Amino acid sequence: MIQFFYEHHKFFDELRDTMMEERRKRQLNNLGRLFALLDKLYPEIVQLRRYFHQYPELSFQEVETPKYIAAFHTKLGHEVQTNVGGRGVVAKLKGGKPGKTIALRADFDALPIQEERDVPYRSKVPGVMHACGHDGHTAQLLGLAKALNEMKEELHGTVVFIHQHAEEVPPGGAIDMINDGCLDGVDVIFGAHLWATDPFGTVLTKPGPLMAAADKFEIEIQGQGGHGGSPHTTKDAIVIGSQLVLNLQQIVSRRINPQDPAVISIGSFEAVNAFNVIADRAKLTGTVRTFNENTRLFIEKEIDRIARGTCFSADAMYQYTYSRGYPTLINDEKMAEYIMNVAKQAPGVTEVQLAEPHMGAEDFSYYLQHVPGAFFFVGAADPEWDIAYPHHHPKFSFDERAMLVAAKVLGAAVLNYEK
């Protein structure tokens, strides 16, 4: 009897091992096929990117870009929804085999920046350019959609392609697309950002908080103007504002734990007057970046307290407005580790790194509040460049080969996902 149970157990162990080995071989074969398809589609991906680059559209003003995206997916035979959450596009590819529903997201809005690069595909819209890589994000996702469509009979589950408008300007497009149902039925979501200041071939992400919450504040100081030669009869809004700028710097340096990342930056200081007039009004605007929600709330209150005290000491009035932007982007721990593992399978990836927390912000954070997933960076600095211009710079660009790397990592994430 003991011998029978031993042999019976051994038989099922061997059967299980055989099935797992066969499944692994199928996955490797499918990955190889996908990577080959993407290599073949790479010239088209570049062409798509350059087209979008020439015809950029600002946040919440996108008209032609979503039309182009919808037409591309419709031609592939995908189920397409337009005007999702305003100007977003959602396309679905149903695989030939049962499985989970995986969402992939790319943004497609541009920035109000005049391009300074002299390239054949430079922006044709004065004062508007793709200076953050969203043209590349859209092109790589469309290329991946076409490749996966070619092997849909072997595809398990459903892939949802979320093409999002208005990432650059809060409240952003993500929250409205979510409210309009773009995540209905989705089990997991992944997103990639081409990063022009990291070396080509690198993939970077981390479990937990990856990108900061980003808020905006405004402080309007109302003093009492007067003649520049009689300052003693005035309440100088410029002097009060200058003192306030200095006082605000003490919040992070003296009120926040040094191990808790936080930033307070004044972006503008407005007080326009004639040279011999003391200003009665000044306006400060700035941004707050945090990872901890309690720290976020604390800084919001501290700015008000310091503004009140500074203005009180000068016998001036003030108005304070604090506007919350995107929340902290927090990767699901398992999904971040999953991306780091599958990235190692993608040709073109030379190194997978644990990212440092980034003080930039992304409304991909809203998706991660609803379903598990991960966001990651793909290095896109051309090794031959002398200068890798940062994002939002008028000379911004990226190594177009990084689009192929990003598409392969996202594709590997789709084909390998089982749980």
Catalytic residue IDs:
109, 167
The Cα–Cα gap between 134 and 168 comes to 10
DSSP-assigned letters across all residues of 232-286: GGSB-HHHHHHHHHHHHHHHHHHHS-TTS-EEEEEEEEE----TTEE-SEEEEEE
Residues 6+ apart with CB under 8 A from 41: 143, 146, 147
- Do strands 281-290 and 262-270 pair parallel, antiparallel, or not at all (unpaired)? antiparallel
Look at residue 395 and give its three-state secondary structure.
coil
Identity of residue 196:
A
- Class of residue 323 by CB neighbours under 10 A (exposed 0-12, middle 13-18, buried 19+): exposed
How far apart, in Å, are the Cα atoms of 134 and each of 105, 116, 201, 238, 289?
11, 18, 19, 39, 22
Token pair belonging to 227: 């003649």
CA atoms within 13 A on the CB side of 406: 37
Q: Which amino acid is at 139?
A: A
What span, in angstroms and rounded, lies between the C-alpha atoms of 378 and 161?
Answer: 19
